[in-house]
């Protein structure tokens, strides 16, 4: 089992069978130390967390943590059970087994020399992003959506020069049952039509 | 209207409210208010002063392991707290209900690197079941209630409560019945479902070569009686882990004794060939299974454990059941029928037992450790006896040759494997069980690690006996050196470095000048002591030890060349078993 560290993890993943990506949602008590408790447990047992987002919920006594974990069924089973065992964890669900909506928010600062701003703006529009700050030589863009949309945007904007980038980590919520939809893949209504990479 | 008291009073009263009558506590600057409070409740709560916080932690474990009640230890902030860490980690590994209370620097100076400040909650995060830093005195009664609840329910474990000095001193009107706030902690549901147990009963009926593999969960759940009934009803042979010893009487013909790395040949063969493995309150530890893929390879596995995360962790179970083991056995006993016919299987196991019984060289002229343990077991057979051990060869020999008949009579640091466990654990067990004979069977390496507790045994009038199997070496490491490192001695001789034994030379049982002089050490602490070298003197020496009124150390001179056998080398399989 790899420890934290992206490169090591990717090497591991490449050598082994492709590992399933899971989104776990944990409801935890909003008490001091709960984040340390959970991240410490995950680290000490060698689980690799790709993303972790935490925030308050509608109930001020509870927080919601959303994890993205890659692993086979056995790893996932253990992560879930070990999380359940933490006293401050109220409930854990593997929401990737259900129909869910997933979002990631990114702020990205891009070098924008004279002449390239138009193109950056066009790209931002296509991805339903917003330019939230403009400086002399750079612009800050806010963009949210599914992980792959964000990743596509990053790749497309990279040639302009990424100055700084920050992401919230994935948050997710299970859809209401019985709702009629047509975007089958848990899709992103904001997804632009032309984002497929060749 | 409840009385106004200090935070320290709330802590002490909470301990009493949870049925605990002995605490092992070593004072210091940040825990002085707690100790002052302890004196106010001394008619209801005895405070035993250990001579090192680690000793206090293990004494609390001895109390807990021998009674099933939560053990409580207390230390001051900083070094006092960090000295508890090993005992806390040990309690986590062996699922011992322990409440560790530490003093902390005043809330105002937390985080400033104040004198004797350590973030002990952070230090202990991964080795406790749960931990608290109490920053408001109003929360203290609730936290204490939660701490005992968490420590003792489900899979028991250690809970740390860190109490800053100003919180100990603050005034409060406590409500000891305040509701707990544990929305994420549920234990009421940990019961096997009837349909799961019906499936197990059906599997037992069909089994031709079933074996029970019982562990600490049987003892922790209080399920020994249910286990005995289950064996009596089904006639299924049973083997136990180190933690499980005592859960089923060793003299029963269906008892195959211990399994695993140093288990009996017949137990390991039986597990290897079984077609149904009933794993009860166990965790498929590497010292039991060796190579996981080969362990009980042909068997259907029933795994019953109270901790859901143990199920399928190391070995996938065909019948995974999250349940209190006692409950599951009690329910199973109502419906279970014996397997159709396992007489051939029982005969086969008996043949294995006849071919490779547990043995040692009974003609050896000196005293072999196995012999000393066997004799002690025989001499104490009809007395209520609790045995504690350190870690190493003497621990395994005790597990192999001492016949445990009742649960909670063998206290061993099994998961963490902490040297120095034996004496303080015996001290705690003796305090909790004043009428019983409590014997620490120890090695000279382990014993020296907490030797200071002889002072506590003497001063607190705890008549613990120590049978010291003194081979002047770290025997288990020596054994591995002999087996895997061509006998190269790497700091495993415990005498002076100019003795030939330090580099693996010398002969016989070891240097005649023994070091240190344990007999004199024990005397210096005020304890009785004796030395035995000749085999013919052993029985009398043991008799003298047992009869002594007060703590006593018997230094038994044993050779260091003995190996613990049988042995399945680490990570290997029953095919690699060394019989010896």
* Helix B140-152 vs helix B7-17: crossing angle, to nearest 10: 30
Dihedral (CA of B271, B276, B281, B284) sign: positive
Tokens matching residue B387: 């045995």
User: Could you count the other beta carbons within 10 Å of the beta carbon of residue B314?
Assistant: 16
Cα-based distances in Å from B559 to B371, B508, B534, B543? 12, 7, 12, 22
In B390-547, which ranges are continuous DSSP H helix? 393-401, 422-432, 444-449, 453-459, 475-484, 518-524, 538-547
Distance from chain centroid for Cα B117: 30
* CB nearest to B184's CB, from A40, A41, A90: A90
- Asked if B532 contacts B555 with a C-beta cutoff of 8 angstroms, the reply is yes
SS3 content of chain A, % helix, strand, coil (to 5): 30, 35, 35
- Domain assignment of residue B562, yes or no: no
Same-domain pairing of B49 and B99: yes
- Domain assignment of residue B49, yes or no: yes
CA distance B244 to B229: 16
Of B170, B169, B171, B174, residue with least CA distance to B31 = B169
pLDDT for res B287: 94
CA distance B25 to B7: 17
- Is B575 considered catalytic here? no
Q: Do A82 and B309 touch (CB under 8 A)?
A: yes
Same-domain pairing of B338 and B216: yes
CATH value at residue B506: 3.40.50.970
* CB nearest to A40's CB, from B125, B150, B307: B125
Q: Are strands A62-71 and A49-56 parallel, antiparallel or unpaired?
A: antiparallel
- Domain assignment of residue B127, yes or no: yes
The total number of structural domains that make up chain B: 3
CA distance B564 to B261: 10
* Helix B224-234 vs helix B325-335: crossing angle, to nearest 10: 30
Residue with tokens 């403009």: A134
- Domain assignment of residue B578, yes or no: no
pLDDT for res B509: 58
Q: How far apart are the first and last CA of chain A?
A: 33
pTM: 0.92
Same-domain pairing of B147 and B256: no
Task: Output phi, psi for A70, to 5 deg.
Answer: -110, 140
Q: Do B126 and A28 touch (CB under 8 A)?
A: no
CA distance B271 to B359: 21
Q: Do B133 and A33 touch (CB under 8 A)?
A: yes
Q: Do A87 and B183 touch (CB under 8 A)?
A: no
- Domain assignment of residue B164, yes or no: yes
From B113, B137, B172, the end of a domain falls on B172
- Domain assignment of residue B575, yes or no: no
B443 prior amide bond cis, ω within 30: no
The H or E element spanning position B555 is strand B552-557
Same-domain pairing of B241 and B388: no
B179 contact A CB<8A: no
Encode B412-432: b = buried (16+ Cβ within 10 Å), e = exposed.
bbbbbbbbbbbbbbbbbbbbb
Cα-based distances in Å from B470 to B326, B375, B426, B455? 39, 16, 18, 20
- Looking at residue B436, the DSSP 8-state letter turns out to be S
Mutate which of A87, A88, A93 to test chain B, going by most B C-beta atoms within 10 A? Answer: A87
B182 contact A CB<8A: yes
- Asked if B138 contacts B172 with a C-beta cutoff of 8 angstroms, the reply is yes
- Residues facing B7 on adjacent strands: none
CA distance B461 to B529: 16
- Asked if B119 contacts B113 with a C-beta cutoff of 8 angstroms, the reply is no
- Domain assignment of residue B341, yes or no: yes
From B323, B355, B387, the end of a domain falls on B355
Given B36, B69, B116, B561, which residue is catalytic?
B116
Same-domain pairing of B350 and B373: no
**A 33-62 residues with CB below 8 A of B?**
33, 36-37, 40-41, 44, 62
CATH value at residue B313: 3.40.50.1220
Tokens matching residue B236: 């299924």
CA distance B153 to B324: 10
Tokens matching residue B356: 């490779």
Structural domain boundaries, residue B499: 369-557
Same-domain pairing of B56 and B27: yes
Tokens matching residue B255: 């008892």
* DSSP assignments along B313-369, one per residue: TSS--SEEEES-HHHHHHHHHHH----S--HHHHHHHHHHHHHS-----TT-SS--H
Which domains does chain A possess? 6-97 (3.30.70.260), 100-174 (3.30.70.1150)
Q: What is the CA radius of gyration of chain A?
A: 19
Same-domain pairing of B447 and B486: yes
Q: How far apart are the first and last CA of chain B?
A: 71
A14 contact B CB<8A: no
- Domain assignment of residue B512, yes or no: yes
Tokens matching residue B437: 């004979």
Of B302, B265, B283, residue with least CA distance to B566 = B265
Residues in chain A, overall count: 198
Same-domain pairing of B74 and B219: no
Same-domain pairing of B158 and B244: no
Same-domain pairing of B313 and B421: no
pLDDT for res B507: 67
For residue A18, the SS3 value is: coil
pLDDT in tens, chain A (198 residues): 333 433 333 334 344 456 788 899 999 999 988 999 998 898 888 888 888 999 999 999 999 999 998 888 888 889 999 999 999 999 999 888 888 999 999 999 999 988 889 999 999 999 999 999 999 999 999 999 998 999 999 999 999 999 999 999 899 999 987 655 444 444 444 454 444 333
Burial label for B438, CB within 10 Å (0-12, 13-18, 19+), is buried
User: Could you count the other beta carbons within 10 Å of the beta carbon of residue B505?
Assistant: 10
Distance from CA of B126 to the nearest CA of A (A): 6
Enter the ipTM.
0.85
pLDDT for res B510: 56
Residue with tokens 């031709």: B208
pLDDT for res B438: 98
**How high is the mean pLDDT in each 10-residue block of chain B (580 residues)?**
90 98 98 98 98 98 98 98 98 98 98 96 96 97 98 97 98 97 87 96 97 98 98 98 98 97 97 98 96 96 96 95 97 97 97 97 96 98 97 98 98 98 98 98 98 98 98 96 94 92 74 87 98 97 98 96 95 92
Dihedral (CA of B481, B482, B484, B489) sign: positive
Cα-based distances in Å from B420 to B232, B448, B453? 38, 7, 10
Burial label for B395, CB within 10 Å (0-12, 13-18, 19+), is buried
Q: Do B126 and A41 touch (CB under 8 A)?
A: yes
- Residues facing A106 on adjacent strands: A143, A167
For residue A14, the SS3 value is: helix
Sort out which chain B residues have CB atoms less than 8 A from A85's CB and list them.
Answer: 307-309
Question: Looking at chain A, which residue has its C-alpha nearest residue B184?
Answer: A90
Cα three-residue angle B41-B44-B50, rounded to 5 degrees: 80
Same-domain pairing of B395 and B493: yes
From B137, B172, B207, the end of a domain falls on B172
Identify each DSSP E strand in A38-187 by its residue range: 49-56, 62-71, 89-94, 100-111, 130-134, 138-145, 162-167, 171-174
- Residues facing B258 on adjacent strands: B240
Same-domain pairing of B436 and B505: yes
Distance from CA of A1 to the nearest CA of B (A): 14
B566 prior amide bond cis, ω within 30: yes
């Amino acid at each position: 089992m790899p420890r934290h560290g992206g490169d090591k993890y990717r090497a591991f993943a490449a050598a082994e069978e492709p590992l399933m990506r899971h989104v776990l949602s944990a409801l935890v008590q909003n008490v001091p130390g709960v984040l340390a408790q959970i991240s410490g447990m995950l680290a000490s047992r060698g689980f690799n967390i790709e993303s972790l987002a935490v925030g308050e919920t509608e109930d001020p006594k509870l927080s919601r943590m959303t994890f993205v974990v890659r692993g086979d069924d056995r790893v996932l089973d253990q992560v879930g059970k070990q999380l359940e065992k933490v006293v401050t964890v109220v409930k854990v669900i593997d929401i990737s087994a259900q129909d869910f909506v997933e979002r990631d928010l990114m702020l990205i600062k891009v070098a924008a020399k004279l002449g390239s701003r138009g193109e950056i703006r066009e790209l931002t529009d296509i991805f339903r992003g917003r330019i939230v700050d403009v400086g002399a030589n750079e612009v800050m863009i806010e963009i949210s959506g599914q992980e792959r949309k964000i990743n596509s945007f990053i790749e497309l904007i990279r040639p302009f020069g990424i100055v700084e980038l920050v992401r919230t980590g994935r948050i997710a919520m299970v859809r209401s049952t019985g709702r009629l939809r047509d975007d089958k893949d848990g899709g992103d209504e904001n997804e632009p039509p032309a984002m497929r990479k060749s | 209207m409840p009385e106004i008291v200090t935070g320290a009073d709330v802590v002490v009263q909470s301990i009493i409210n949870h049925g605990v009558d002995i605490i092992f506590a070593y004072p210091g600057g940040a825990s002085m208010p707690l100790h002052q409070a302890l004196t106010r409740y001394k008619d209801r709560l005895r405070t035993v002063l250990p001579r090192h916080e680690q000793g206090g932690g293990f004494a609390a474990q001895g109390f807990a392991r021998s009674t099933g009640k939560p053990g409580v230890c207390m230390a001051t902030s900083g070094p006092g707290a960090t000295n508890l860490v090993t005992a806390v980690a040990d309690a986590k590994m062996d699922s011992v209900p322990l409440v560790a209370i530490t003093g902390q620097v005043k809330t105002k100076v937390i985080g400033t690197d104040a004198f004797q400040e350590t973030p002990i909650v952070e230090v202990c995060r991964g080795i406790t079941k749960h931990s608290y830093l109490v920053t408001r005195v109003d929360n203290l009664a609730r936290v204490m209630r939660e701490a005992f609840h968490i420590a003792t329910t489900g899979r028991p474990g250690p809970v740390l409560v860190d109490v800053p000095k100003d919180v100990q001193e603050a005034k409060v009107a406590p409500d000891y019945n305040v509701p707990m706030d544990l929305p994420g902690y549920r234990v009421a549901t940990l019961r096997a479902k009837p349909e799961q147990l019906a499936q197990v009963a059906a599997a037992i009926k069909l089994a031709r070569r079933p074996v029970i593999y019982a562990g600490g969960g049987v003892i922790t759940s209080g399920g020994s009686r249910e286990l005995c009934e289950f064996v009596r009803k089904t006639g299924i042979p049973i083997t136990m882990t180190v933690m499980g010893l005592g859960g089923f009487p060793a003299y029963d013909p269906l008892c195959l004794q211990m399994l695993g790395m140093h288990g009996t040949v017949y137990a390991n063969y039986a597990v290897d060939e079984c077609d149904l493995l009933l794993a009860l309150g166990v965790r498929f530890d590497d010292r039991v299974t060796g190579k996981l893929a080969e362990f009980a390879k042909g068997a259907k596995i029933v795994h019953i454990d109270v901790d859901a995360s143990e199920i399928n962790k190391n070995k996938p179970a065909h019948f995974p059941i999250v349940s209190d083991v006692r409950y599951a056995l009690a329910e199973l006993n109502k419906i279970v029928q014996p397997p159709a016919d396992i007489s051939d299987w029982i005969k086969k196991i008996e043949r294995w037992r006849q071919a490779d019984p547990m043995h040692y060289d009974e003609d050896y002229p000196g005293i072999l450790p196995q012999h000393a343990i066997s004799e002690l077991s025989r001499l104490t057979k009809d007395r209520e006896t609790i045995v504690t051990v350190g870690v190493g060869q003497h621990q395994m020999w005790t597990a192999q040759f001492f016949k445990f008949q009742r649960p909670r009579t063998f206290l061993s640091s099994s998961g963490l494997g902490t040297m120095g466990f034996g004496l303080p654990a015996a001290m705690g067990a003796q305090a909790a069980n004043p009428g019983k004979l409590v014997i620490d069977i120890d090695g000279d390496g382990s014993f020296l690690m907490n030797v200071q507790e002889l002072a506590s045994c003497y001063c607190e009038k705890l008549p613990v006996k120590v049978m010291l199997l003194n081979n002047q070496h770290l025997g288990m490491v020596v054994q591995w050196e002999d087996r895997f490192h061509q006998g190269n001695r790497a700091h495993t001789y415990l005498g002076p470095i100019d003795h030939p034994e330090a580099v693996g030379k010398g002969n016989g049982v070891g240097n005649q000048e023994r070091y240190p002089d344990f007999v004199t050490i024990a005397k210096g602490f005020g304890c009785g002591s004796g030395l035995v070298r000749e085999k013919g003197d052993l029985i009398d020496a043991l008799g003298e030890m047992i009869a002594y009124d007060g703590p006593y150390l018997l230094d038994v001179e044993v050779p260091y060349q003995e190996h613990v056998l049988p042995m399945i080398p680490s990570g290997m399989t029953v095919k690699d078993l060394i019989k010896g």
